Structure 1
Amino acid sequence: MEDDAVRTGTSPLSDGGETVAVTEETREVSPDDVCVLIPTLDEAATIGDVIEGFYEQGYTKVVVVDGNSTDDTREIARDHGAEVLVQSGDGKGQAVREALEYITVPYVLMVDGDGTYDPADADKMVEPLSRGYEHVIGNRFAEMDDDAMRALNGFGNRMINRAFGFVHGANYEDILSGYRAFTVDSFERLSLDSDGFTIETELAVECVKHGVETTVVPVGYSARPDESETNLHPVKDGGTILLTLYSLAKTNNPLFYFGSLGVAGILSGSLIAVYVLWEWVQYNQSHEVIALVSAAAILLGVQLLMFGVLSDMLVTLHREQRRRLERIARESNDE
């Protein structure tokens, strides 16, 4: 099968980096302009059916980027006509970034290779790109099978989505979804450094941070086949994702990040101060060293709050300036 979705040893072609405004005017996105990107690790039980499913929908440019599987994932993918890349590093995030260096078509449809997502939803995922959106997230909770997700996983996913909305100010409904469609141009504007499975979380945060036009569409989500094993651990990985959400707020929502640290410092210092005062009033015992620690904690908390406010002002000004420059660039291109 001929496949020009990947060009070995070269960089992707792009349109110049300007933001696409969402309008009612549509532009046709042909399956020939879309590369189906499938990151894999030991997905021999399902990868063949996943590839064939996209072929049946007319998407023939399929690229499998494999994380050095120990089973027959790569061989099966090649047998089904997919282009196979073996990533040089470890983790899904590194695999996606590396694969994007070789993709030459303007659109990417990214999906997990575990057979949980339905290739029949491909057109539904790609369609918003024709209306000017730059990033599309497939919402698994809209059409999820009853046995597709354990209760603990479902609770953790919803908690993480609420935390994302609270911290980063956007409702993407399912930020951990592995079913994504996006333009190569918008991906190149993002600052991604996640190597592992937190790539979906980082993508969502970066879309908010860089003003990438993002929408959500309902997709089907099925249980993993019995012969396919998951690489995720709900409690450990959920904690890692929450920490990632919090750490990424440093540049996307600095008022929350530094403000929360400041409030924690003020509260802890205040509690220590209350203890010192109580000891002095009740027992006439002074704790000079502890009192100094209390004062230092309160002072540090106040400084962090002030730094958060100033950082938030700078981020807001930066975003306004970026939007202004992008508007000027669009107007220049229209002329």
Structure 2
Amino acid sequence: MEHDGVRATALEREAFLSMSDRTRDIAADDVCILVPTLNEAATIGDVIDGFREQGYSNVVIVDGDSDDGTRSIASDHGAEVFTQTGDGKGQAVREALEYVTVPYVLMVDGDGTYDPADADRMLEPLSRGYDHVIGNRFADMDDDAMAALNGFGNRLINRSFRLIHGAEYEDILSGYRAFTTDSFERLSLDADGFTIETELAVECVKHGIDTAVVPISYRARPEASETNLNPLRDGGTIVLTLYSLAKTNNPLFYFGSFGAASIVSGGVVATYVLWEWIQYGIGHEILALVSAAAVLLGVQLVMFGVLSDMLVTLHREQRRRLEQITRDERGRDD
């Protein structure tokens, strides 16, 4: 079942659940449950137990040097624990993947908001050939799971992603992800903090990674657990990340937006200069030069964006052909 821009209804979610219960082609031993943590002592034990109850015993905790006993609790509950050498969730994920030896990874936050019972549903698309899966929290969200400001910000960011990068993933900030280790190695990830989910979504579009969106449940954070997110600061950082990543994924939008802004600015100044000259006979030679330069710069930026977009399109086509050739060669070898 695929969700192409249509929010899952409760009936769709139940249908998807029924299908997932019938299909489990991926062995639990082939899956690493990856949990980045930072001061999640109140919830990490229940998270680990939940996945172990679902049959997933390979749970890896990559911890950002918590000072509340998170690591000891995780060890007591049977998880493999190590402390990341750097800072931030993005760095933790990249570092952890260097030690993963199984073909599939199910990444989840350690705050208890995601349901381990959704694990099979998240992994099912991988058995059908998808390389990356995003859990859509908005399909079944508790009323108090997300503050109004956070909900507004999430929807704004999802719309911005759709506009800038041209894909409908419904919930790009979801922390519940499943992916193949092979596909992860194809991505160029630099984010260190909470923008890792945003960068993952952009890189999936950029590299043509087959991505599925599935409905999941999303629960309110337990009272004893405190969030590490700042809605305004981190939300602004995510929007800027979306825009900056367009430089290599959608250069026409990136350079075209700058060019359009420059043209409009030059046009406004030129209109003012012309009005002053017609009404009062006052000439503004310097402003006239500035407006002309702004318009010319804007036109050049738009042209550069068009040329860059053509190069990106050709590069993607060549990459698809090379990947197809590689797949054909592997098929013949098998």
TM-score (norm 1): 0.91
Q: Unaligned 5+ residue runs, structure 2?
A: 1-22
Deviation of the 1:28 alpha carbon: 2.3
* 1:262 and 2:250 aligned: no
What do residues 216-241 of structure 1 show as CA deviations (whole Å, max 9, x unaligned)?
00011000000101111112211111
* 1:59 and 2:56 aligned: yes
Q: Unaligned 5+ residue runs, structure 1?
A: 1-25
Distance 2:86 2:165 in 1: 30
Task: Decide which structure has greater helix share.
Answer: 2
1:241-252 correspondence to structure 2 within 5 Å: 241-252=238-249
Structure 2 partner of 1:197: 194
Match of 2:310, as an amino acid?
M
Aligned residues: 310
What do residues 127-185 of structure 1 show as CA deviations (whole Å, max 9, x unaligned)?
11111100000000001111101111111101111110111111000000000000000
What do residues 45-83 of structure 1 show as CA deviations (whole Å, max 9, x unaligned)?
000000000000000000000011111101100111111
Paired residues of 2:88 and 2:194 also in contact (CA < 8 A)? yes
Match of 2:44, as an amino acid?
I
Structure 2 partner of 1:73: 70
Deviation of the 1:27 alpha carbon: 8.8
Distance 1:176 1:127 in 2: 21
Cα-Cα RMSD: 0.9
Structure 2 partner of 1:303: 300
Structure 2 partner of 1:109: 106
Alignment partner of 2:139: what SS?
A: strand
Alignment partner of 2:35: what SS?
A: strand
* 1:29 and 2:18 aligned: no
Deviation of the 1:334 alpha carbon: 1.2
1:277-296 correspondence to structure 2 within 5 Å: 277-296=274-293
Distance 2:82 2:309 in 1: 41
Q: After the TM superposition, which segments of 4 or more aligned residues of structure 1 sit over 3 Å from their partners?
A: none
Structure 1 partner of 2:17: none
Match of 2:29, as an amino acid?
D
What do residues 261-306 of structure 1 show as CA deviations (whole Å, max 9, x unaligned)?
0000000000011111111111111111111111111111000000
Distance 2:24 2:89 in 1: 31
Distance 1:46 1:213 in 2: 32
Alignment partner of 1:138: what SS?
A: strand
Structure 2 partner of 1:322: 319
Distance 2:25 2:216 in 1: 21
Alignment partner of 1:181: what SS?
A: strand
Task: Tell me which of 250, 253, 264 is aligned to 2:250.
Answer: 253
Identity percentage over the alignment?
78
* 1:276 and 2:286 aligned: no
